[in-house]
Amino acid sequence: MAVSTATYISDSTLLLRGAVASGTTDPISASRGDDSSFVLTANPTKAVEYPCITVMMEDMNSRKLGVASEAHWVNCTVAIKVFARNQREKDRLSQQVVDSLRSVELDATTGTSAQKLFGFRLSSSIDIDELEQQGPKSRIMRYNYGVIISN
């Protein structure tokens, strides 16, 4: 699915969700309920079973590609949140997310660059402190990509 000028926000999110889903392994796939998903977009409205991963567009800004140009370079910040049952699972799933996005970037036919989502960069990775020791463990990773849009 190429990222379209008219729908670049949803296209980018869905493209990255697909890349994360195909590059990560659900540790509870055999027991996950039918009303639950492992990789989701935005904040889950379905039943949540840990572990899970969410992908959402967090921030965007743009600049013209020239003084008289109608084309823009849009910088997109995508937040990918990993929720896990323990620290080891959180680290393993986070590594799988990084590896899947990094490896899919330059694929000539299905990669993010070929689909018009450019400049993969992991800009931050933050562990979230949980209030209780036994609660889910989470990490927010922010990735930056660029999209060229034109009228």
Q: Which residues pair with 141 in a beta bridge?
A: 80, 125
Given this structure, which CATH class describes domain 8-149? alpha beta
Give the contacts of 49 (CB within 8 A, at least 6 positions apart). Answer: 28, 32, 33, 36
Model pLDDT, residue 103: 93
Domain spans in the chain, listed from the N-terminal domain onward: 8-149
Pairing of strands 52-64, 39-41: parallel
- The predicted model scores a pTM of 0.91
For the chain, residues with pLDDT lower than 50 are: none
Model pLDDT, residue 44: 67
